[in-house]
Structure 1
């Protein structure tokens, strides 16, 4: 037996004319039509606008975050009977400062008593002005011994009502 098989001349000519397998170019991920470019541009513009709007809203609500941080300190003061009167006074002050940050000074600064409670109720969807009305009408003007004897649930209700108003009040544009 022969070590190498002999091929006929036609087969040898056919094998010599073969070339390597040609691989096609990889398919491009770039869109082939201009519509996809327009869609991508529109999506990018919408994302930029949404981000810009989020930044504006975040900055516009800085006064709310500051008031809520102050409310945490006030809540701690309301838990202790010896500092409860100062806490109640500061709670009214934080509500007024929050309103002054959100509305024009001439619209808010002169409000007191019933007109202040009506203002708070008018700009809150929950209408949770009862606890705040107690704060404004009664607790601010009582002596320290009367306020120190308040049940803790009344002080808790005041903080909850103030927190709800700070978080949810509506400022018209």
Structure 2
């Protein structure tokens, strides 16, 4: 090893008087003015309102989800000719229960025949009540032999029309 070089006294004095570098304080993440706090509070309030509205809509549409679940069971029965007559009656029952959940009982419970068909058509967003009208006017009152002999495409059309009405009806 080599011997350390000797510095002159002025350099040694200058080196001893040096101080460490001063690092500035870290920048705060908190808003510096009250305006940003107001904007943040408004955003939190808006997010809370949107969340509450979605929860309210989710709860309000619980009857639709239940009706769609019941409709799946009816659709399975409609695929088999032996259970088709009972399934047609159950399909009409699911539609009536859905309407009773969405509208006041005194407005819906007494409806039957043409009044019921007009009600379904009036509250259908797409106004495509022909298939449901056929269900309510014809198939529900025919004998079991005629209903059991229905083509499967008619039954699937009934399920599609009922599903569309349940999902898209305009409730009170």
Do they fold alike, i.e. is TM over 0.5? yes
Deviation of 1:9 after TM superposition, in Å, equals 2.6
Deviation of 1:86 after TM superposition, in Å, equals 0.3
2: distance between equivalents of 1:86 and 1:171?
Answer: 28
Normalising by structure 2, what TM-score?
A: 0.95
Normalising by structure 1, what TM-score?
A: 0.94
What is the count of residue pairs matched by the alignment?
171
Deviation of 1:27 after TM superposition, in Å, equals 1.4
Instruction: Classify the secondary structure of the residue corresponding to 2:84.
Output: helix
- 1:114 is matched with 114
Deviation of 1:4 after TM superposition, in Å, equals 3.5
Deviation of 1:31 after TM superposition, in Å, equals 1.4
Unaligned runs of 5+ in 1: none
- 2:81 is matched with 81
Query: Deviation per CA, 1:139-165, whole angstroms, max 9, x where unpaired?
Result: 111110010000011111110000000
2: distance between equivalents of 1:7 and 1:73?
Answer: 96
2: distance between equivalents of 1:69 and 1:103?
Answer: 20
Alignment of 1:14-163 (within 5 A): 14-163=14-163
2: distance between equivalents of 1:170 and 1:125?
Answer: 6
Deviation of 1:102 after TM superposition, in Å, equals 0.3
